Amino acid sequence: MKQKIPYKIYLLEDEIPRQWYNVRADMKNKPAPLINPANGKPLTADDLAPIFCADLNKQELDNDTPYFDIPDEVLTFYKMYRPSPLVRAYFLEKALDTPAKIYYKFEGNNTSGSHKLNSAIAQAYYAKKQGLKGVTTETGAGQWGTALSMACAYFHLDCKVFMVKCSYEQKPFRREVMRTYGASVTPSPSLTTKVGQKILSEHPDTGGSLGCAISEAVETAVTHEGYRYVLGSVLNQVLLHQTVIGLETQKALQKYDIHPDIIIGCAGGGSNLGGLVSPFIGEMLRGEANYRVIAVEPASCPSFTRGKFAYDYCDTGMICPLAKMYTLGSQFIPSPSHAGGLRFHGMSPILSQLYHDGYIEARAVEQTSVFDAAEYFARVEGTLPAPESSHAIRVAIDEALRCKETGEAKTIVFGLTGTGYFDLTAYEQYNNHTMTDVIPSDATIAESLAKLPKVGNE
Amino acid sequence: MKQKIPYKIYLLEDEIPRQWYNVRADMKNKPAPLINPANGKPLTADDLAPIFCADLNKQELDNDTPYFDIPDEVLTFYKMYRPSPLVRAYFLEKALDTPAKIYYKFEGNNTSGSHKLNSAIAQAYYAKKQGLKGVTTETGAGQWGTALSMACAYFHLDCKVFMVKCSYEQKPFRREVMRTYGASVTPSPSLTTKVGQKILSEHPDTGGSLGCAISEAVETAVTHEGYRYVLGSVLNQVLLHQTVIGLETQKALQKYDIHPDIIIGCAGGGSNLGGLVSPFIGEMLRGEANYRVIAVEPASCPSFTRGKFAYDYCDTGMICPLAKMYTLGSQFIPSPSHAGGLRFHGMSPILSQLYHDGYIEARAVEQTSVFDAAEYFARVEGTLPAPESSHAIRVAIDEALRCKETGEAKTIVFGLTGTGYFDLTAYEQYNNHTMTDVIPSDATIAESLAKLPKVGNE
């Protein structure tokens, strides 16, 4: 007889995975290498050394090693907030009256409010190990900056966050969490960098952009002795660290002999989706199992469903390396009316390759329908979800309702990446019925894609 | 050999207590009855029936039944966010370099962000059971209103929250969480009640007060068919529901054969402190064990340490029943510079009697020192605490540092009632070094106490 499945499946502390899984080792078609825009050649560890930490560069470029040991210091920190629960959504199933069995892996029970901490602590650890003084980064919505601030406080590293100026002003609470953890938070563009000075002299009233904040963070890292730049998504190393999500999910499912049919994650740069699904796709790549894996992206920024698989800059400022990925073009600007943090024009090169090879399907959803799902979920499951996470909720509910129609008792697993406590301006818009859906026209996307760089694509 | 104690002790789902504990049954000196201000006589269930739900009135007045069954519907809801973890503060112990063993019961892992949900769901259940349409309440800081909104959404009850106007304007995010859960949130004073109209005609620019919001909520309950008024602290029924905290804590400690020396809780109206410590004080009352129990209150609102044990109104508006409690006088107004939610002039009658009888000691702490502790805790333990909870952290750290001096390896348990995500204005003040301590003078307290009612005190 099967055990009764509890509302929340908690692994024991010593069941936290001791290694991260590198899905690239099982991929026949490896993700294309990063390219140096200066010479059009694949980037080497030496090229990356002035910008990123040495150990992280190794992880970034390694397509072959299947597992990387999680350092003891990182494992200890993980015990602060991990294992995270795999929740059986009994309340949601009952409310939907569906035969589907729904589970979600909840990564929001830590003060940074999201899964971002899984990689932040690893990146801070390697920076500390290398004897660095500190790290720099940019943040838009603020989840990554918050996570990095917590990680740096733990390792007594300095943390310089460049926060897009309009976010700095509109999200003072996110800023204060970072400051409470000892980070210095600078509105970007700022007078502290040359690129910031230049932009301010040309556009004194600008609210800033993620592209500009990246440029300032990178400039600060390379011009300050003992600093490196760190990034919270897109990179292979970030997906590697985030596999702790999927590995824990696998272990929790195995404990109760649960076999998922559908695995769903929201997709911006790919850090959460990649972390959740990599171990499952690994099984598919090795021919051990088969799953439907669904990436959910915003209809306002649909890189998988309407983008092109090509080399492109990772940043709007066009100073970062080129990556081969599904992209809308680095000059694509998602509608400012979109509330979620899934506004990146591109997608993780690993996930892009897997999508290209048919291991992932993708779906684009409109934000009003995402907030319908978010509010419904909050009321029946009790947790106020982040707008990003709610993209996955939307599709999980849609799939569960499909099961209700067909009578199939499918098992659905989705990633609930975080909480929405700092996203209440968006909820307010939704509550006041002033939230709108803005979907880019074909012409807008074509215009942006016409500006793709030649390097790598010829 | 003892088992290794994990970072987080989680009980199993079927270990959630199935009964609440009524400490009054074990008290030799029962708390004094509530008094009807109209006739000076103890309140009866009939007196209370128009205001509160019937089953709750029974719980309120019952000094003898030691245990009340938790209804199945409430137990099911508890599984949404309970059992809550008892955390071993290994990181804090290491940072303090103390021989003390520190544990905290963390009640912040639910969307309302605090322990308030434990009683909100019980009160909503009894309202639903009675066939009511809805409930009314007031909220200041917003934790109670949020919890009640969640509970009412679950039972499909209407929820009318009167939110102190200045909070309504200064804490729009709290308001939006309540609206997301379907509550109607009205800034108080409002034109929807007679008392609100009267106050607005006399003081059109007032920012409101808790006393006024209570008056509006009570008026709305008694003038609307099918509505009752509910309250989140002070009352005996609330302490009863909150004992789920202490009972779980006892069970988790027993599981690992841990014997606490000191138990610490913050104290405003007493809902958290009473819930945490009642089961332990029950052991003391029955002569089974002995503990040091410490109530921590703000130096700006020190009802235990500088108040008087006397009959007083529970509300500033002087329309509620009289309770015998430690009070600063119902006209006492704590400094507006105080950030925490522990601003109630009185204290739970149960806890007041226990304090009077020597089962509880009390300590008043200043808020800058509370925020020193909060920031320290956030950085080493990872969780950003609510200002209220941080009062308990302050004293837990002080006691742990005393152990460091004396070399004693005492076991300290404290209640971490909630998270500080909606309190970042206070953190901002602290980060900007603009937070101050305002401690009431002896003359101010004497002046307020001189206005205590005659009823009950002669």
Encode pLDDT of B174-190 as tens digits: 999 999 999 999 999 99
List the one residue out of B284, B273, B251 whose CA is nearest residue B348.
Answer: B273
CA A62/CA B286 separation, integer angstroms = 65
Do A91 and B80 make contact, defined as CB atoms within 8 angstroms?
yes
Interface residue of A379, A422, A429, A434 to substitute, partner B, most B CBs within 10 Å: A379
Facing B6 at nearest CB: one of A13, A153, A421? A13
List the beta strands (DSSP E) in B89-214: 101-106, 134-139, 158-164, 184-188
CA B270/CA B326 separation, integer angstroms = 11
Q: Token pair for residue B110?
A: 């639910």
Q: How confident is the model at residue B3 (pLDDT cuts 50, 70, 90)?
A: confident
- Which residue's entry shows tokens 């009289």? B322
Other C-beta atoms lying within 10 Å of the C-beta of residue A30 = 13
Query: How much of chain B is helix, strand and coil, in % rounded to 5?
Result: 45, 15, 40
List the one residue out of A343, A341, A306, A342 whose CA is nearest residue A327.
Answer: A306
pLDDT of residue B156: 97
Assess whether pLDDT exceeds 80 at residue A112. yes
Q: Is the peptide bond before B189 cis (omega within 30 degrees of 0)?
A: yes
Assess whether pLDDT exceeds 80 at residue B1. no
pLDDT in tens, B187-240: 999 999 999 999 899 989 888 887 788 889 999 999 999 999 999 999 999 999
Task: Read off the pLDDT of each residue in B46-54 and give the average, rounded to a whole number.
Answer: 91
Task: Read off the pLDDT of each residue in A426-451 and give the average, rounded to a whole number.
Answer: 94
pLDDT of residue A243: 98
Percent of chain B with pLDDT over 70: 99
Do A427 and B180 make contact, defined as CB atoms within 8 angstroms?
yes
What single string gives the DSSP state of each residue in B364-425? EE-HHHHHHHHHHHHHHH---B-HHHHHHHHHHHHHHHHHHHHT---EEEEEE-BB-TT-HH
How far B322 CA lies from chain A's nearest CA (Å)?
36
Task: Read off the pLDDT of each residue in B396-422 and give the average, rounded to a whole number.
Answer: 97
pLDDT of residue A2: 61
ipTM, two decimals, is 0.95
Residues of B at the A interface (Cβ-Cβ below 8 Å)?
6-8, 10, 12-13, 79-81, 91, 109-111, 113, 150, 153-154, 172-173, 176-177, 179-182, 375, 378-384, 419, 421-422, 424, 427-428, 430-431
- DSSP SS3 for B20: strand
User: Which of A336-345, A374-383, A440-449 is predicted with the least confidence, judged by mean pLDDT?
Assistant: A336-345
pLDDT in tens, A369-411: 999 999 999 999 999 999 999 999 999 999 999 999 999 999 9
List the one residue out of A234, A305, A312 whose CA is nearest residue A274.
Answer: A234
Q: Are B356 and B308 in contact (CB under 8 A)?
A: no
Q: How confident is the model at residue B2 (pLDDT cuts 50, 70, 90)?
A: low
* A-B contacts at Cβ under 8 angstroms: 105
The DSSP call for residue B353 is H
CA B357/CA B3 separation, integer angstroms = 38
Name every chain A residue with its beta carbon within 8 A of the beta carbon of B159.
none
Assess whether pLDDT exceeds 90 at residue B316. no
pLDDT of residue A75: 98
Q: How confident is the model at residue A458 (pLDDT cuts 50, 70, 90)?
A: confident
CA A332/CA B252 separation, integer angstroms = 53
Name every chain A residue with its beta carbon within 8 A of the beta carbon of B431.
176, 179-180
Judged by phi (left if over 0) then psi (alpha if -120 to 50, else beta), residue B113 lies in left
Record the pTM.
0.96
Name every chain A residue with its beta carbon within 8 A of the beta carbon of B80.
7, 91, 381-382
Task: Read off the pLDDT of each residue in B413-437 and give the average, rounded to a whole number.
Answer: 94
Do A424 and B176 make contact, defined as CB atoms within 8 angstroms?
yes
Q: Token pair for residue A152?
A: 């740096």
Facing A111 at nearest CB: one of B375, B382, B428? B382
CA B164/CA B186 separation, integer angstroms = 9
Assess whether pLDDT exceeds 70 at residue A1. no
- H or E segment and range at residue A160: strand A158-164
Taking every pair of Cα atoms in chain A, the longest distance, rounded to a whole number of angstroms, is 71
Q: Encode B124-145 in three state secondary structure.
A: HHHHHHCCCCEEEEEECCCHHH
How far B25 CA lies from chain A's nearest CA (Å)?
34
Task: Read off the pLDDT of each residue in A309-323 and give the average, rounded to a whole number.
Answer: 86
Judged by phi (left if over 0) then psi (alpha if -120 to 50, else beta), residue B368 lies in alpha
pLDDT in tens, A350-367: 999 999 999 999 999 999
Buried b / exposed e over A62-79, threshold 16 CB at 10 Å, is beeeeebebeebbbebbb
pLDDT in tens, A149-204: 999 999 999 999 999 888 888 888 999 999 999 999 999 999 999 999 998 999 89
Do A81 and B154 make contact, defined as CB atoms within 8 angstroms?
no
Q: Are A28 and A64 in contact (CB under 8 A)?
A: no
Do A424 and B12 make contact, defined as CB atoms within 8 angstroms?
no
